[in-house]
Amino acid sequence: MSVALQDFFTQLHSQRENTQEHITFTYKKLLKDRPSSSTQAAFLTQLTKKDLDEIRRFSGIEGVSKLTKQPLIKRLVQEQSTAIDRFILTMDNERLNWLKKILAGDKIYLDSFTAHKLAFFTYTGLTFAVKDKEDDMLVMPDDVREYFLTYDQTEWQIQADINDAVIRLTQGLLYYYGYMPKSTVFELVSPIVSFNLVRVDAVIKDAKNYYDYMNENDQDLMDSRVVDLDILKEQQQKSIYQKHYSFTDDQLIQAGTEDFMDLTDELIQLVKHLKERYLLDDQTMNRYMDDCLILLNSFIDIDPSFLYLSQHLPVASDDDKKMLLALLQASQDSIHTWALKGNKRKKETVQTSEPAKKIGRNDPCPCGSGKKYKKCCGK
C-alpha cells in the first residue's frame, strides 16, 4: 500500500473520531443550568469568553475582541436586533419551523438536535441549552422573544423558501461533485436571490455551520465527507471526463435534503453481503459502509475500498476476494462519483440518470434487517 493511501486511511479514521469527540464535547460544553433570571444577559453570563466571541462573530460585531467578558455581554445585548436580523436573513424552513415553535412557547427538547445544530443555535446568542428539571431543552430568553415578536413575520416564509433553495442546490452540487470553487457555486445559486452575493455568502456560511454537510477553504466549498481535497482533484484530472455531469435543478435540490441517500440496488447488495458473510452488527456495518462510500467516491477505481475492507474483515479465500471485488465494482459503477466529476464509471450510462432512492428515517432498512432505517444502516 502506498504512503499516500495509508495517510488517506489515517485521515479517514481521524475524521470519524473527531466527529464523535465533537458531539460529546459540544453537549457537555453548552448545556447549562437554567439561570435565576430569564434575560439574555443572564444566559450569556454562563458561557465562556470564547463562546461569547463566537456569538459576536455571528452578529458581525467588530472592534470588540479585546473587551473583557462583562463589557462584551453588554455589547451583545445591545446588538440583539443585529443577531435577530442575521438569523432571519439566513434561516431556511427547518430553522423557521423551530423559531415558530419557540415563539409559540413550545417545549423544545435537545434530543431533536445534532451537536452542530445545537452549537449553531447557541452561537446566535438568541437561544440556549439548559437543564430543566429532568429534561434538557433549548430555550429563548424572555427579552429576546419579546423583541422577535415586534417583527413583521409576513415575509418570513418567503425568505425561508428562497434560502432553502440556495442551501439545497449548494449541498446537492457538493453531494455529487465532492467540491466546487466558491465562485462557481455563487454563480449557479445567486439568481435565486436576485444575484445578491452578500446574501448567498451569509446563507451558505450559516447552513455550513448548522447542517455540517459542507466544509470550505479560501477557494472551494466541499462536501464534509471529503477527506483529502488534493487527492480528489488529482483523481478528477485522471478521469476520462472533461466535464461535470449535468444534473437537473430538481435532482440537485433533492440531493441537498438532509435524509437523502443515493442508495442503488448494487449498494444494497453490498450491504447485505457484508452483514451476512461477516456477521457485522449494525453499528459496525454502518461505519464500514460510510467509509467505503467515501472511498468509492474519492477514487476512480475500487482498489482503495477493497484494501480498506480487507484490513477490517477476514477476506481470506479467493472466492471471498472475487465476490467482494465484484460487488464493489458493481457498486461504484452504479453511482455518480466525485472522482468522475459526478459522472458514472460506465460512460454509456451517463446520459440516463435513474431516479435515486430516498430512504426515509422511519422506512424499513433496505438491508433486510427488519428494523427501521434510522435504527439500522441510517444511524
Residue 180 maps to a domain? yes
Do 310 and 243 share a domain, yes or no? no
pLDDT on residue 360? 59
pLDDT, mean of residues 355-365: 57
Residue 269 maps to a domain? yes
Query: Among 118-122, 247-251, 254-258, 373-377, which stretch is predicted with the lowest mean pLDDT?
Result: 373-377
pLDDT higher than 80, residue 348: no
Tally of structural domains, the chain = 3
Do 245 and 291 share a domain, yes or no? no
Residue 168 maps to a domain? yes
User: Global pTM?
Assistant: 0.87
Where a domain ends, among 148, 179, 213? 148
Do 208 and 299 share a domain, yes or no? no
Where a domain ends, among 148, 174, 191? 148
Do 39 and 132 share a domain, yes or no? yes
In angstroms, the CA 157 to CA 159 distance is 5
Do 251 and 274 share a domain, yes or no? no
pLDDT, mean of residues 233-261: 93
Query: Among 18-22, 83-87, 88-92, which stretch is predicted with the lowest mean pLDDT?
Result: 18-22
Residue 4 maps to a domain? no
**Between residues 327 and 1, the one the model is more confident about:** 327
Q: Which of 160, 298, 162 is nearest to 223 (CA)?
A: 298
Residue-wise pLDDT tens digits, 191-217: 999 999 999 999 999 999 999 899 999
Do 271 and 251 share a domain, yes or no? no
In angstroms, the CA 363 to CA 257 distance is 16
CA dihedral over 323, 324, 330, 333, signed as positive or negative:
negative
Residue 9 maps to a domain? no
Residue-wise pLDDT tens digits, 261-271: 888 999 999 99
Do 235 and 321 share a domain, yes or no? no
Do 170 and 192 share a domain, yes or no? yes
Do 129 and 35 share a domain, yes or no? yes
Do 62 and 134 share a domain, yes or no? yes
In angstroms, the CA 229 to CA 217 distance is 10
Give the confidence band of 65 by pLDDT, cuts at 50, 70, 90: confident
What DSSP line would sit under 127-151, residue for residue?
-EEEEETTEEEEE--HHHHHHHTTS
pLDDT higher than 70, residue 362: no
Domain that holds residue 226: 160-255
Residue 107 maps to a domain? yes
Where a domain ends, among 222, 255, 288? 255
Give the confidence band of 349 by pLDDT, cuts at 50, 70, 90: very low
Residue 98 maps to a domain? yes
In angstroms, the CA 236 to CA 242 distance is 9
Q: Which amino acid is at 47?
A: L
Do 34 and 111 share a domain, yes or no? yes
pLDDT on residue 364? 60
**Phi/psi of residue 276, nearest 5 degrees:** -80, -40
In angstroms, the CA 297 to CA 12 distance is 13
Do 236 and 351 share a domain, yes or no? no
Residue 13 maps to a domain? no
Residue tagged 477527506 (cell numbers): 227
Share of the chain above pLDDT 90, in %: 76
pLDDT on residue 370? 54
Share of the chain above pLDDT 70, in %: 91
